[in-house]
A and B are shown apart, each in its own frame.
Chain A
Amino acid sequence: MSATAASSGRIEIDGTVFNPYSKDFIRSPWATWEKLALEHPVAWHKDLNMWVVSSHEALNDMLKDNRFSTNYKHWEFAPPPKPYEQQNHFERAIDAGLFAVEPKEHLRLRKLTMPAFSKPVMGKIDAKIRDLITTCFDEIGSPEQFDAFTMIAEKLPVRSIARMVGVPTNMESFFHDFAVNVVKSTRINLPQKVRDQSIQETLPGFQYFLDLIKERRALPHPGEDFIGQLVAASDNGDSLNDYQIVSVIQAVIVAGSDTATDLHTYAIQGLLSNPDQYQLLAQKPELMENAIIELLRYGAFGKTPQFRFVTEDLEWRGQHFKKGQSVLLNLTAAWVDPQKWPNPRQLDIQRRLDGNLVFGAGAHFCIGTYLVRVQGGLMIQELMKRFPNAELVNGNGDVEYDYNHHNARRINRLLVKTNVEAARKAA
């Protein structure tokens, strides 16, 4: 049996209902997500050994409920705490970071860091990364077809984030590896051995940024860029310490590089699979911000989106949660929950997106939301300008997936037919 009501009244499912690692699911998760959202919105997964929450309504509540913590130290299988002097840079940065601190301290950190992330500041990032996007498309040129993954998605995010943080753009692989290892270090669905190895591999990255912060602190003025703003951040005499700054930088690198990779491929896939929407956006560029959120919702590239940890024994939505248990926030299922979104499989860049959970909700709402919108918007603008008649090769871009990616339904091939030559001949 795949879904049961246990004798305790606990709703239980297993891998036959939801297996986020199966190839079939990665290629086509829609029916699974719909079943979860409609029939098992809150259920204990016997194989994953964690709760899975999948409906929009339930997730909207859970994201705003502090009893479900982002701090993995509340997890029943968390490694025992170490004294500060025995901790490495990774452990100190994680402890100082936005996912580990208690709600009051979290609000304080967000308040101090917000000036560096606000919409007006991110608007200025536009000018800083525009040339990177132009260069990226110059490198593509005017071929008959190109791979959007290798030519755009793999390059653009990490270059943009390097520019934004204010470090050399030639350290692309260094940043990418750092980002991937930080994510893998905190993924509780990965084996402890993998997480430990990943932690070790993050250490050079943390050391690099700690040295950079030290240099900036020694200057008469720490600079106007992102790191400079974090070093200078103050509120009534309050300021950020080195590990708090480095934890914010690593959060931005993670969100802005590895995650943004999927933003680009899925945005291109979404638009070119829906030529009417591609044309509409070209005609109405003012729809761009809404279009990006809709493309993220529609693409729903997360595989095992986020986790929470239960801080006390509690009853929630008729289920008994025990202190220390983990919860998979199955946010991508909520993004296509038919109870919230009419025709959820349809891309509609004019859709009213009020109350969407694309960037989460509540205290841990995605800190890089405007950065993502700026980067995605610039890429799409350039794509429309260079290749207004683009299509996916063979209708689906001969799409391929990296089935072993740690948390995304990662597309690692998406072939785009430019139709540039055909348009030239027609002219």
Chain B
Amino acid sequence: MERWICVICGFIYDEAVGMPEHGIAAGTRFSELPEDWMCPECGSPKSAFEVYSD
């Protein structure tokens, strides 16, 4: 499981957690998100995300 950060706003998508409140189940890989999925914080496209490590 990886974490992905939006380089525009810093929002972190954690695959292990998903976004259940937005209908994305825990364990959903970033690559499995729809191509038109957008950052819930700033609306940037998937291409603005990078793998994140502390």
Contact = CB atoms under 8 A, between A and B. Distances in A.
Given A107-B48, A111-B50, A119 B10 contact: yes
Interface in B32-47: 40-44
Contact of A117 (B10, B40, B41, B42): B10
B10 to A, nearest CB: 4
A362 interface: yes
Given A107-B48, A369-B10, A370-B10, A118 B42 contact: no
Interface residues on B, range: 10 to 19
Nearest to A118: B10
Nearest to B48: A107
Contact of B10 (A60, A114, A354): A114
Interface in A357-372: 359-363, 365-366, 369-370
A361 B43 contact: yes
A64 interface: yes
A110 B7 CA distance: 6
A360 B5 contact: no
Interface in A106-164: 107, 110-111, 114, 117-120, 122
Interface string B1-33: 000010111111000000000000000000000
A120 B12 CA distance: 10
Contacts of A117: 10
A117 B12 CA distance: 12
Given A107-B48, A114-B5, A118-B10, A365 B54 contact: no
Contact of A361 (B10, B11, B12, B42): B42
A119 B10 CA distance: 6
A111 B49 CA distance: 9
Contacts of B7: 107, 110-111, 114
A362 B43 contact: yes
Of A111, A119, A360, A362, which is in contact with the most chain B CB atoms at under 10 Å from its CB? Answer: A362
A369 to B, nearest CB: 6
A366 B6 CA distance: 13
Interface string A46-64: 0000000000000010011
B47 to A, nearest CB: 8
Nearest to A352: B21
Nearest to A364: B8
A229 B42 CA distance: 24
A360 B40 CA distance: 12
Nearest to A356: B41
A365 B50 contact: no
B43 A120 contact: no
A355 B38 CA distance: 11
Nearest to A370: B10
Given A118-B10, A119-B12, A370-B10, A365 B44 contact: yes
24 contacts: A63-B43, A64-B43, A107-B7, A110-B8, A111-B50, A114-B5, A114-B7, A114-B8, A114-B10, A117-B10, A118-B5, A118-B10, A122-B10, A354-B40, A359-B9, A359-B42, A362-B8, A362-B42, A365-B8, A365-B42, A365-B43, A366-B9, A369-B10, A370-B10
Given A107-B8, A111-B50, A365-B43, 18 more contacts: A107-B7, A110-B48, A114-B7, A118-B10, A119-B10, A122-B10, A355-B43, A361-B43, A362-B42, A362-B43, A362-B44, A363-B8, A363-B44, A363-B48, A365-B8, A365-B42, A365-B44, A370-B10
Interface of B: 5, 7-12, 40-44, 48, 50, 54
| Across the A-B interface, the 5 shortest Cβ-Cβ residue pairs | A365-B42, A118-B10, A361-B43, A111-B7, A365-B9
